[in-house]
Chains A and B, each alone.
Chain A
Amino acid sequence: MSLRVTAATAARVLSQLRRDPRTVVLLLGVPSGLVVLLKYVFSGNPAVFDRIGGPLLGLFPFITMFIVTSITMLRERTSGTLERLMSMPLGKLDLLLGYGVAFAAVAAAQAAVVSAVALGGLGLDVAGSHWVVGALAVLNAVLGTALGLFVSAFARTEFQAVQFMPALVFPQFLLCGLFVARADMARGLELASYAMPLTYAYDAIDLVTRHGEYGGAFARDVAVTAGAALAALVLGALTLRRRTP
């Protein structure tokens, strides 16, 4: 583990993003656009906006960071830079943590923008602290980053990598409890939802936005989410091979 290499990697990933202003605008603007859309889709039923708007603030970064990192890491693999880095004195975890730190910073900016729009501009009502909502958004972004880095090992092409989004993220979204309470699902689906990290991420954010609760259940959900992110990073490091066929 080397702080120098982790920091250098994070700075490098952020410089790459800075050279791509269109991506930055999309990363920062799209979630806000979607929240505005959501507000007007449910203009006849504002309670629904309050019910799902809050959790979505915390879950957007999960989706965007999952897609962005799985593509970025794939590019690193196909461009030969990963092979070069693997022949250098660089720890695998340093590389992955560097990515995690960089995208957590992007997520913090993204969460700040979308929260300002939703809580300030659109009058979204949440029970708990806005800061905790923001912090959970960053944690979920790290989870998305870690999962994206891990699954990129299983993609040979960009076409495969983008398919991992509907394949791995959509089911978690449908089962996490955002659309249908988990207790109302078929028993098998409910059980499956407990194996999915997004379920805990959703529960944590739901406790804050709807009930303003920071008790034991909240602590457990945050711990499971963070643990899942860490586990995905370690698995990601294991799938990085210094020697390839």
Chain B
Amino acid sequence: MASAIDVRGLRVLRGGMLVLRGVSLSVARGRVTGLLGPSGCGKTTLMRCIVGVQRIEAGEVSVLGEPAGTPSLRPRVGYVTQAPSVYGDLSVEENLLYFARVLGAPRERIDAALETVGLGEHRGQVVSTLSGGEQARVSLATALLNQPPVLVLDEPTVGLDPVLRRDLWTAFQALAAEGTTLLVSSHVMDEAERCDEILLMRDGEILAAEAPASLRRRTGAATLDAAFLALVEGRDVP
């Protein structure tokens, strides 16, 4: 089966710095792929390239077989930025209603999206009065409205309590089981265990791309944190 996202030789300059230094990767359809790496390694820039809002220096990015940023891809790729990008002066429901209209999603989808992110009882609340984690979930709910085949989520679980984090990861896996392709970034290594595949990133380059268990086996490390260190320091890795 063809992959959902293909990146070849991607180079991006931001503020005069080479943020992505020739990245190549592919993301399988209908799976949860984790994009892991320390803060500042280029995860957000890579995601911006995939949704087509980043100006690129060189390389090719294709999503569902079309060049990233093509107008026909816009309804088919959902993007959630790291900072919640919703209107703070509107209620949860007003935000979702607006984005549902822009996306052409039926109104009934709002209930389902709110349920997935566990914000049902906050629907009438003004977003700026919610906590940071709740605002991030409103932002996430927005991307679920039109059920796009590809979801690009930038650190969606930051600052959430463990119960919510578990619930969200369960929701991601359920979406993948229905055929949605998810690319989820995180700088928390233990979240990688919940992914089908992981992409380990450091300093604008991809260090490894494989299933979490296979990475641990290959590096002989007990945890993914240790595997990351082993890869960075090049110790005994076949």
Give 1 or 0 for each of A3-36: 1 = CB within 8 Å of chain B CB. Answer: 0110111011001100110000000000000000
Please give, as numbers and ranges, the residues of chain A lying within 8 Å of B15 by CB-CB distance: 245
Interface size of A by CB at 8 A reads 26
Please give, as numbers and ranges, the residues of chain B lying within 8 Å of A7 by CB-CB distance: 101
Contact B81 A89 (CB under 8 A): no
- Identify the stretch in A75-83, A106-114, A142-150, A162-170 within 8 Å (CB) of chain B at 4 or more residues: A75-83
Please give, as numbers and ranges, the residues of chain A lying within 8 Å of B55 by CB-CB distance: 243-245
Q: Give A244 to B104 CA distance when docked, in angstroms.
A: 25
Contact B98 A12 (CB under 8 A): yes
In the complex, chain B residues 2-24 whose Cβ is within 8 Å of any chain A Cβ: 13-15
Contact A89/B101 with A80-B81, A80-B83 known, Cβ cut-off 8 Å: no
Contact A84 B81 (CB under 8 A): yes
Give 1 or 0 for each of B96-107: 1 = CB within 8 Å of chain A CB. Answer: 001101111000
Interface size of B by CB at 8 A reads 32
Q: How far is the CB of A181 from chain B (nearest CB, A)?
A: 44
Q: Give A5 to B74 CA distance when docked, in angstroms.
A: 14
Please give, as numbers and ranges, the residues of chain A lying within 8 Å of B14 by CB-CB distance: 245
Contact A83 B53 (CB under 8 A): yes
Q: How far is the CB of A60 from chain B (nearest CB, A)?
A: 25
- Identify 11 residue pairs between A and B in the complex whose beta-carbon atoms are under 8 Å apart, listed by A's number: A5-B102, A9-B102, A11-B98, A12-B94, A19-B89, A79-B88, A80-B83, A81-B87, A84-B142, A90-B102, A245-B14
Which A positions have Cβ atoms within 8 angstroms of B? 4-5, 7-9, 11-12, 15-16, 19-20, 79-81, 83-90, 242-245
